């Protein structure tokens, strides 16, 4: 049984690079991750010596920020604006969609059935692709290219609902759009402006944005992760911020703004039975924050000893696999 009070770190692997994203092979400790060294790696974190299992996939020309597993395929994207389809077992490129977006790709996710791939980028467009042949299915345009202060905006996050019928996207200024995956139409939208900070004096610069999104298992709620108001625009000094919305009405049901934990909430995951919501991220350091939706309180927090960029939960929600700045780590919480 998954029990956050039993949380303990069971493995850590040091790296010289920054690890931006991961995709976990179901029912295993094996993950693929994207790196600042422009490569993708396959590693088995369940192995006693994970580095002995490390395999390198070479094909990108810059940082790899998004990775998704869809059936036998791995799909990755990043700063080079390309999407690459790989055979996950043979580590061979299947095909590349060059310049899949006009600006850098921030995230790549797969639908639960593995039939569709969604990518978001700083061209403020979400594109949905057919996994089998990499053909474009829908181009979703619901986010403004400029911030209210006439600077380029950014589109950081997207996520599918558990049934694959909905897709949510979130941008730098806190605008969230829910899409119908089948027809590509907008279902609804709402605002989460607390995630955006604008400095009108010292830097004339903005920071923050929605960095993570996650539907609850029943699809009724949408969790939004980012960072609250920042006093010093040059640092990730805002309080970590998680908001949970009834997306149909746009009503905010929960808000968690930690008094001590600062930095971006980079990833959100619900317990498979919605017993809790887990957030991870950080500034120079990092954190794991467990939240109870009924009491609207934190039920456990942990120093991650790294800025976590992405994590995955196993099927029982009792093991966490995380990647971030110069580290990979595994935590268990088996009751």
pLDDT tens profile 8-52: 999 999 999 999 999 999 999 999 999 999 999 999 999 999 999
Sign of the CA dihedral running 179, 80, 192, 173: negative
Compute φ and ψ for 50, nearest 5 degrees: -55, -35
- Order of strands, sheet of 126-130, starting from the edge strand that comes earlier in the sequence: 105-110, 116-121, 126-130, 136-140
* Closest alpha carbon to 31 in 18, 15, 45, 20: 45
Domain coordinates of the chain in residue numbers? 94-332
Tell me the C-alpha distance between 290 and 255, whole Å. 13
CA neighbours within 13 Å on the CB side: how many for 98?
A: 2
Tell me the C-alpha distance between 209 and 296, whole Å. 23
pLDDT band at 205; cut points 50, 70, 90: low
CA neighbours within 13 Å on the CB side: how many for 142?
A: 27
Compute φ and ψ for 222, nearest 5 degrees: -130, 120
- Pairing relationship of beta strands 287-292 and 297-303 according to DSSP bridges: antiparallel
> Residue 158: what pLDDT?
98
Sign of the CA dihedral running 203, 208, 209, 211: positive
Contact partners, residue 276, CB within 8 Å, separation at least 6: 4, 270, 290, 291, 292, 293, 299
Q: How many other CB atoms sit within 10 Å of the CB of residue 233?
A: 18
pLDDT tens profile 101-116: 999 999 999 999 999 9
Tell me the C-alpha distance between 314 and 301, whole Å. 19
Tell me the C-alpha distance between 105 and 102, whole Å. 9
Predicted confidence (pLDDT) at residue 203 exceeds the cutoff of 80: no
Tell me the C-alpha distance between 140 and 166, whole Å. 13
For domain 94-332, which architecture applies?
7 Propeller (2.130)
What is the mean predicted confidence (pLDDT) over 287-296? 96
**pTM for the full predicted model:** 0.96
pLDDT tens profile 249-290: 999 999 999 888 989 999 999 999 999 999 999 987 899 999
> Residue 267: what pLDDT?
98
Tell me the C-alpha distance between 37 and 284, whole Å. 20
67 exposure class (CB count in 10 Å sphere: 0-12, 13-18, 19+): buried
pLDDT tens profile 301-320: 999 999 999 999 999 999 99
């Amino acid at each position: 049984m998954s029990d956050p009070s039993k949380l303990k770190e069971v493995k850590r692997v040091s790296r010289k690079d920054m690890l931006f994203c991961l995709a976990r092979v179901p029912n295993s400790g094996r993950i693929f991750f994207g790196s600042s060294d422009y490569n993708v790696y396959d590693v088995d974190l369940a192995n006693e010596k994970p580095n002995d299992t490390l395999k390198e996939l070479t094909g990108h020309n810059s940082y790899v920020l998004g990775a998704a597993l869809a059936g036998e395929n791995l799909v990755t994207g990043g700063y080079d604006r390309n999407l690459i389809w790989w055979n996950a077992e043979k580590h061979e490129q299947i095909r590349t969609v060059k310049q899949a977006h006009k600006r850098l790709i921030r995230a790549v996710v797969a639908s639960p059935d593995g039939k569709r791939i969604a990518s978001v980028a700083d061209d403020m467009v979400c594109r949905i692709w057919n996994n089998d042949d990499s053909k474009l299915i829908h181009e979703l345009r619901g986010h403004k290219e400029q911030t209210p202060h006439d600077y380029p905006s950014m589109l950081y996050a997207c996520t599918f609902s558990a049934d694959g019928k909905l897709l949510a996207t979130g941008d730098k200024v806190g605008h969230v759009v829910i899409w119908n995956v089948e027809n590509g139409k907008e279902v609804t939208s709402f605002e989460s402006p607390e995630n955006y900070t604008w400095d009108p004096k010292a830097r004339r610069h903005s920071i923050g944005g929605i960095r993570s999104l996650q539907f609850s298992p029943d699809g009724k709620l949408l969790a939004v992760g980012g960072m609250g108001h920042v006093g010093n625009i040059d640092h990730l000094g805002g309080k970590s911020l998680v908001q949970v919305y009834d997306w149909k009405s746009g009503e905010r049901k929960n808000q968690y703004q930690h008094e001590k934990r600062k930095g971006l909430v980079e990833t959100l995951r619900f317990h498979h039975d919605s017993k809790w919501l887990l957030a991870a991220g950080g500034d120079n350091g990092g954190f794991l924050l467990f939240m109870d939706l009924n009491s609207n309180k934190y039920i456990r927090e942990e120093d991650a000893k790294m800025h976590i960029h992405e994590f995955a939960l196993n099927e029982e929600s009792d093991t966490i696999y995380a990647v971030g700045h110069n580290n990979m780590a595994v935590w268990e919480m088996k009751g």
